Amino acid sequence: MEKLKDYPYQHRDINWLSFNDRVLQEAADTSNPLYERLKFIAIFSSNLDEYFRVRVSQLRQLKRVDKSLRKKLALRPSKFVKQLLQKVHEQQQWLGDIFFDQIVPDLAKHNIILLKKDELQDKFKKEALHYFEKNLKSLVHSELVEASKHSDIFLENQHIYLLVTFKDDSKYGIVKVPSNEDQRFIEIAQEDGKFYICFLDDIIKLKLPHLFEEETITGCYSVKLSRDAELYLDQELEGELADKIYESLAQRTDGQPTRFLYDEAMPKEVRKNIRKSLGLGKIDMVAGGAYHNFDDFFGFPDPTNNPELHAPEMKVIEHSGLHGKNYFDVIKEKDQLVHFPFMSFDYVQKFIDQSSTDDQVEEIKISLYRVADESDLTDSLLTALKNGKKVTVFVEAKARFDEENNIKWGRIFEEHGAQVIYSYPRIKVHSKVLLVLRREKNKLKRYAYIGTGNFNAKTSKIYCDHGLFTANKQVTKDLSRVFKVLEGKLIIPRAKHLLISPFTTRRTFEDLIRKEIDAAKAGKPAKITAKMNQLEDPGMINLLYKASQAGVKIRLIVRGFSSLIPQLDQISENIYMTSIVDRYLEHGRIYKFHNNGEPLMFMGSADWMSRNLDRRIEVLAPIYDDDIFKELDEILEIQLNDNVKARIHTPEEDNPFVETDENNIVRSQEEVYKYLKNKHQAQI
Q: What's the 3-state SS for 237-280?
A: CCCCHHHHHHHHCCHHHHCCEEEEEEECCCCHHHHHHHHHHHCC
Distance CA 323, CA 467 (A): 16
Residue 451: closest CA among 605, 317, 584: 605
Residue in 632, 649, 665, 644 with CA at minimum distance from that of residue 555: 649
Q: Which helix (H) or strand (E) holds 176?
A: strand 171-176
Please give the biggest Cα pair distance in the chain. 86
Q: What is the DSSP letter of 659?
A: P
Task: Taking each helix axis as running N to C, give the angle between helix 668-683 and helix 626-640, from 0 to 180 degrees, rounded to the nearest 10.
Answer: 150
Q: Which three-class secondary structure string do you get for 308-352? A: HHCCCCCCCCCCCCCCCCCHHHHHHHCCEEEEECCCCCHHHHHHH
SS3 state at 190 = strand
Q: Which of 665, 662, 588, 535 is nearest to 16 (CA)?
A: 535
Please count the helices (runs of H) and the strands (runs of E) in the chain. Answer: 22, 28
* Residue 587 marked as a ligand binder: yes
CA dist., res. 236 & res. 52, Å (int) = 28
Q: Does 559 count as an annotated binding residue?
A: yes
Would you say 9 is a known binding-site residue? Answer: no
Distance, CA of 288 to CA of 92 (rounded, Å): 7
**643-654 residues labelled b (16+ CB within 10 A) or e (exposed):** bbbbbbbeeebe
State the DSSP code for 156.
P
In angstroms, what CA-CA distances link 183 with 175, 190, 297?
A: 17, 18, 11
Residue 370 marked ligand-binding = yes
What is d(CA 175, CA 142) in angstroms, rounded to the nearest whole number? 5
Hey, how many other C-beta atoms are within 10 angstroms of the C-beta on 625? Answer: 17
Buried residues in 94-117 as b, exposed as e (16+ CB within 10 A) = bbbebbeeebeeebeeeebbbbeb
Q: Residue 172 and residue 186: Cα distance in Å, rounded?
A: 27
Query: Do the annotations mark residue 369 as ligand-binding?
Result: no
What is the number of other CB atoms lying within 10 angstroms of the CB of residue 30?
Answer: 10
* Residues paired with residue 427 on neighbouring β-strands, in sequence order: 424
Do residues 364 and 356 touch, judged by C-beta distance below 8 A? yes
Q: Out of 292, 339, 430, 466, which one is annotated catalytic? A: 430
Q: Are 564 and 624 in contact (CB under 8 A)?
A: no
Annotation-wise, does 611 bind a ligand? Answer: no
CB 617 within 8 A of CB 427: yes
In the residue annotation, 594 being an active-site residue is answered as no
Alpha carbon distance 558, 589 (integer Å): 10
Distance of CA 380 to the CA centre of its chain: 26
Count of all residues that appear for the chain in the document: 684
Q: Residues forming the annotated binding site for Mg(2+)?
A: 370, 400
- Known catalytic residues are 430
Q: Residues forming the annotated binding site for ATP?
A: 47, 463, 559, 587
Q: Residues forming the annotated binding site?
A: 47, 370, 400, 463, 559, 587
